[in-house]
Structure 1
Amino acid sequence: MVDYDGVRTTHFYGQKFPGGLSNSHPSLNIDAAALRQQVRVLSHTSTQAAALISRDVDTVIDSGLMLSPEPQTDILGITPEQGEAWAADVATRFDLWAQSQLSSITGTMNFYTAQRLMQRYLSRDGECFVHHSYSPDPRLLNPLQFALIDPDQIRENGFISTMGLLNLYEIADGIIRNAHGEETAYKVWYKTAGTPIVQMKNIPRIGKSGRVMMTHGMEYTYAGQGRGFSPLAVSIQDLENIVDLAMAQIEKAKNQSNIAFYTESSGDQPASDPFAGIPRIGEVPSGPAAAAFGNTPTPPAGAQNVTPESLEPVYDPIPNTTVRKPGSVGIFNMPSKQTIKPFPNTAPDVQFNAFVDAYFSYIAAANGQSVETVLMKFSNNYSASRATLILTWRIAVQRRYNLACYHLDPLYESWLQEEIAAGRITAPGWSDPRMRAAWLRHRWNGSGAPVIDPLKSINAAKVAAEIGATTLEDIAMEYSGASGKANRSKLAKEYDDLPTPPWTKTTETVTVEEDGEKETEKENKNAD
């Protein structure tokens, strides 16, 4: 506990029990860097932490969010057909750039694979930094290139502290801000290849040319927050408890499985030498190991380091041993009237899985997920499983929006303005902020919501649309992540391109039962 201008605070590193039972404090000085390191270690030591992060990335990103431009034609003064043609051209050009590994500065990932790493940073560290670079390299489809900057690279010189409450302290976290609190530059530490020297340079958020140079995304917990806090910070101690419990149960099971069998003496005779009576070859019993290291050691005449203790019989008392192979230990010839009883076979505890799942369910809920989704274990109840998937989908849509707001939208805008500057795409009125916003209108489409029974889901959506409980646009977004309006426009064109009728007539026999009598009728259906 320290005093600062009369305010009592404590550093919070994610541990609930630093010196005993948990206790409340008047205020928190949240150490973002310490929390980040704690969670990163857990992501490699805790299978539950790794599952939380991986499932979030898989659900939100899957194979990547794809651009779907939707220019606002009413504001732009163009026809819907012109807007659709412009959108198709932009989407195709952007996809070509996005699929190229040269879209990244390092050349090790493309735009879609980079999205997974962006979401991993947000899910694990609570923040993500993306650097924009502009290169005249003729190999590039567009001058724009990006690189992800590790949050550990953005810091002060050996010190970092991020306050989460009302800016009580001066923020010194590697980010330069103006008087309004707006981020203007970032202190990035890096090492030049071939040298051990670590250097620091300032990368501005907006370059001198007006181009975006860096974007910073994080989930805000406090209004005065300067750096991201890991979503797993509240669960650090709990995840470590599960790791400790699991390791203890596993070790217990291993120890109990090491003893293969034992014999119990039933008489009063003393223990005997099991090697007694074995024929000898000269001074050596049938095996040299039996002579030198048996129950009655008799080393050869030239043996070295022979002590009186090493010649003591070892078959009477049971020797201590280090078990190196599970299930390999047997106990023989115990002294009379003595019995060794193994530990009760209680490992793994029959309640272990139930306890861990119940404990972990609260950790998953604190991270906005369900334990069923994280573990990919669903019940046989259709309604319960569907409710779980719907909740997971809604959270994924929210996190997709955040990722797009932080990083994907600025990248698209930077890419588009480079295409316009090169004359490959025309966007009249681009210099007007309102017209630019109309040209930039778009959405990011990813995998649709998981569906347990597609026919049931579609029929339910159809009924909901008929009674006005939802819209076709919402149904398309939930089912496939696409735009319903764009789908209908494309389908109309595809139907026009197909032969007429698009498929042959079919005759279906329908059997109905009315007033206890069955009646069969034939119904001709034309699919077009």
Structure 2
Amino acid sequence: MRLIEKAISVISPAWAAKREANLVKIQAGAYARNIIRGGNSYTGATNKRSMQDWATNNNDANSAMLNDLPILRERCRDLYNNTPAARGAISTINTNVIGTGLILRSTPDIEVLGITDEVAQELSDTIEREFLLWANSQLSCDYTRKLNFNEIQRLVSVSQQISGDVFVLMPWVNRKGSIYDLKLQLIEADRICNPNDLPDDKKIAGGIEYDDNGIPIAIHIRTPHPGNTLDSSIPTWERVEYYGAKTGRRNVLHVMENERIDQARGVPILAPVIETIKQISKYSEAEIAAAVVNAVLAVFIKRPVPDDTTPVDYGEEDSVKPWETTDYQLGSGTWIDGAPGEELQVVNAARPSNQFDPFFLATMKQVGMALELPFEILIKHFSSSYSASRAALLEAWKMFRVKRSFIISNFCQPAYEEFLTEAVIKGRVNAPGFLSDPAIRAAYCVAQWVGPTPGQLDPGKEYDAANKAVEYGFSSRTRATAELNGQDFESVIKEKAREEALMRKLNVSLNTSTFQPIAQLEREQQNNNEDDNET
């Protein structure tokens, strides 16, 4: 109590107590305001009028998203199925990231394995040949016998973006006519849920089971699918561990992008722009409907104010007047009969609105920002200069390469490593030390995955730049070939050598060919050296 309150308490204790209570309230209010305003360090933490309707929470990743995921998946699928913007964005990403499928290029680490380049090349050829034998066969690759490996890649990518994540099981199933037993079984995100639909807790959340250290150890798969209206059987749950207890073999691939620490499930890629895309879709539908109505409805009936002093003869009493019918339908060339004294009024709705296209384009720019898709790539319209269009293409490919790396590391490479393990076990690939030393196994599994390349706006400039990069030592022919057309340099050279041999055999010469066999190059170099020595 302050000195003045002490003095007042001598005269009036009640008055002093009241003053003290008010002082405490004032100090508490000032402290609370200081907390709300964040100490005035950041405007975004203040309680200004513009921030008062901003509701936020401090929930962890799972508390913030698990309850919202079912409706997010449903709405993203609906947008993908019914809106051009959502469909185009996801299809553009998949076409550039996956294309017709990422191609395996086996590149064993010769230094770790202690083998020569020739042996490594033979090993790579064998591995790639065996992999194609498995990957190109629906019977060998897909658990459901519907897709090959390239088609599974695309389905995994699409499902992950629409649903937020996708699960891949890797059972071994012995089938007649199939050399390899490894099969890939895709599980849609909705089927991974808590047993008996129990609420999430620290042991099981989002259908994923955790140990005491918070490490995921198993998933729970619901059968049938929660949205399966054709199967009325009682649902059951199958528990599948991420890794085998005896062998340590990987049983489950969980393909999802982590955006927060300890995040259990993935979020659909369209989640930040669901409302924006839906609203622009409604706007588009309204403009289209208005334009259609405006095209088929040209006139209205305008009726004058009735004048009781002027009788109008409408004909016989029992006859049906044309204007009394309610069976009117809009259509091109439709004629509506009016009553005597009524006149036609032309309708000019001025549709579509002049503001529709600018508003639509501005909205698409925001959608592109959220999806990391430049505006030109998103709407497939290049109206700027060459430099601006190329900049947009390069910026988009930064994102495409990131997503391709994600698919490779989370699906393609793990599936390939499981395949190679089986190939070694079955003796179809000779890889000493593969099964006994993890380091040796990793060296055998080194691989590159080649996919679609950026398109060339000006092929001449692109190839000139690639030639200079190779000439100056900034790049290799192998890398330049892969970046320009997605092909393998060695395969291109072998094919070109066969073409040259065929042309020599048929005595055909093409002016566009600048290829020279190595032997000829060596002879020319030897002749040049002899000339230099004579000089």
TM bracket (short chain)? 0.7 to 0.9
User: What is the identity, as a one-letter code, of the residue corresponding to 1:66?
Assistant: I
Residue deviations 1:118-164 (CA, integer Å, cap 9, x gap): 0001221221211111022232120101111010000014658789x
In the other structure, the counterpart of 1:306 is: none
Structure 2, unmatched stretches of 5+, are 1-51, 518-535
Contact 1:119-1:403 within 8 A present in 2 as well: yes
In the other structure, the counterpart of 1:436 is: 441
Q: Distance in 1 between matches of 2:231 and 2:83?
A: 35
In the other structure, the counterpart of 1:78 is: 115
In the other structure, the counterpart of 2:373 is: 369
How much does 1:321 deviate?
A: 5.1
Give 1:27-176 correspondences, 5 Å limit. Answer: 27-28=58-59, 29-30=64-65, 31-102=68-139, 103-157=141-195, 159=197, 172-176=205-209
Which deviates the most, 125-134 or 192-201? Answer: 192-201
Q: Distance in 1 between matches of 2:506 and 2:242?
A: 54
Q: Distance in 2 between matches of 1:248 and 1:124?
A: 26
Structure 1, unmatched stretches of 5+, are 1-20, 164-168, 277-295, 300-310, 509-523
In the other structure, the counterpart of 1:237 is: 275
Which deviates the most, 74-83 or 136-145? Answer: 136-145
Give 1:283-294 correspondences, 5 Å limit. Answer: none
Mark the CA change 1:491 to 1:434 in structure 2 (over 3 Å): closer, same or farther.
farther
Contact 2:105-2:128 within 8 A present in 1 as well: yes
How much does 1:205 deviate?
A: 1.3
SS in 1 for 2:360: helix
In the other structure, the counterpart of 1:358 is: 362
How much does 1:49 deviate?
A: 1.2
**What TM-score, normalized by structure 1, do the two folds share?**
0.76
Q: Distance in 1 between matches of 2:92 and 2:350?
A: 32
SS in 1 for 2:221: strand
Give 1:466-481 correspondences, 5 Å limit. Answer: 466-481=471-486
Q: Distance in 1 between matches of 2:208 and 2:251?
A: 14
In the other structure, the counterpart of 1:450 is: 455
Q: Distance in 2 between matches of 1:393 and 1:75?
A: 33
How much does 1:95 deviate?
A: 0.9
SS in 1 for 2:205: coil
2:426 matches 1:422: yes
2:218 matches 1:179: no
Q: Distance in 2 between matches of 1:455 and 1:246?
A: 40
Q: Distance in 1 between matches of 2:198 and 2:333?
A: 53
Q: Distance in 1 between matches of 2:364 and 2:232?
A: 45
How much does 1:212 deviate?
A: 2.1
SS in 2 for 1:330: coil
Mark the CA change 1:489 to 1:44 in structure 2 (over 3 Å): closer, same or farther.
closer
Mark the CA change 1:118 to 1:138 in structure 2 (over 3 Å): closer, same or farther.
same
In the other structure, the counterpart of 2:265 is: 227
Contact 1:185-1:203 within 8 A present in 2 as well: yes
Q: Distance in 1 between matches of 2:463 and 2:403?
A: 25
Higher helix proportion: 2
Mark the CA change 1:140 to 1:194 in structure 2 (over 3 Å): closer, same or farther.
farther
Q: Distance in 2 between matches of 1:370 and 1:255?
A: 35
SS in 1 for 2:183: strand
Q: Distance in 1 between matches of 2:505 and 2:106?
A: 32
Give 1:491-510 correspondences, 5 Å limit. Answer: none
Q: Distance in 1 between matches of 2:405 and 2:243?
A: 23
Q: Distance in 1 between matches of 2:161 and 2:327?
A: 46
In the other structure, the counterpart of 2:526 is: none
Residue deviations 1:376-425 (CA, integer Å, cap 9, x gap): 22226322222222222332222111111111111111111111111111
2:404 matches 1:404: no
2:291 matches 1:253: yes
2:248 matches 1:217: no
Higher strand proportion: 1
Contact 1:271-1:334 within 8 A present in 2 as well: no
Contact 1:191-1:199 within 8 A present in 2 as well: yes
2:29 matches 1:25: no
Contact 1:270-1:335 within 8 A present in 2 as well: no
How much does 1:185 deviate?
A: 1.0
Which deviates the most, 110-119 or 251-260? Answer: 251-260
Q: Distance in 2 between matches of 1:270 and 1:256?
A: 36
Contact 1:261-1:329 within 8 A present in 2 as well: no
**Alignment match of 1:463 (pick from 468, 474, 487):** 468
**Alignment match of 2:393 (pick from 389, 392, 396):** 389
Mark the CA change 1:348 to 1:186 in structure 2 (over 3 Å): closer, same or farther.
same
Contact 2:204-2:210 within 8 A present in 1 as well: no
Mark the CA change 1:147 to 1:205 in structure 2 (over 3 Å): closer, same or farther.
same
2:228 matches 1:197: no
Mark the CA change 1:271 to 1:400 in structure 2 (over 3 Å): closer, same or farther.
farther
Contact 1:101-1:107 within 8 A present in 2 as well: yes
Contact 2:299-2:347 within 8 A present in 1 as well: no
SS in 2 for 1:224: coil
In the other structure, the counterpart of 1:516 is: none
How much does 1:211 deviate?
A: 2.6
SS in 2 for 1:133: coil
Contact 2:451-2:486 within 8 A present in 1 as well: yes
Aligned length: 450
**Alignment match of 2:382 (pick from 374, 378, 403):** 378
Residue deviations 1:210-240 (CA, integer Å, cap 9, x gap): 3321100111110121100111101111111
Q: Distance in 2 between matches of 1:384 and 1:124?
A: 30
Mark the CA change 1:83 to 1:373 in structure 2 (over 3 Å): closer, same or farther.
same
Contact 1:162-1:226 within 8 A present in 2 as well: no
Contact 1:61-1:115 within 8 A present in 2 as well: yes
Mark the CA change 1:215 to 1:320 in structure 2 (over 3 Å): closer, same or farther.
same
Contact 1:262-1:330 within 8 A present in 2 as well: no
Mark the CA change 1:78 to 1:332 in structure 2 (over 3 Å): closer, same or farther.
same
User: What is the identity, as a one-letter code, of the residue corresponding to 2:131?
Assistant: F
Q: CA RMSD, aligned part only?
A: 3.5
**Alignment match of 1:330 (pick from 323, 332, 335):** 335
How much does 1:341 deviate?
A: 3.5
How much does 1:365 deviate?
A: 2.3
Mark the CA change 1:223 to 1:481 in structure 2 (over 3 Å): closer, same or farther.
farther
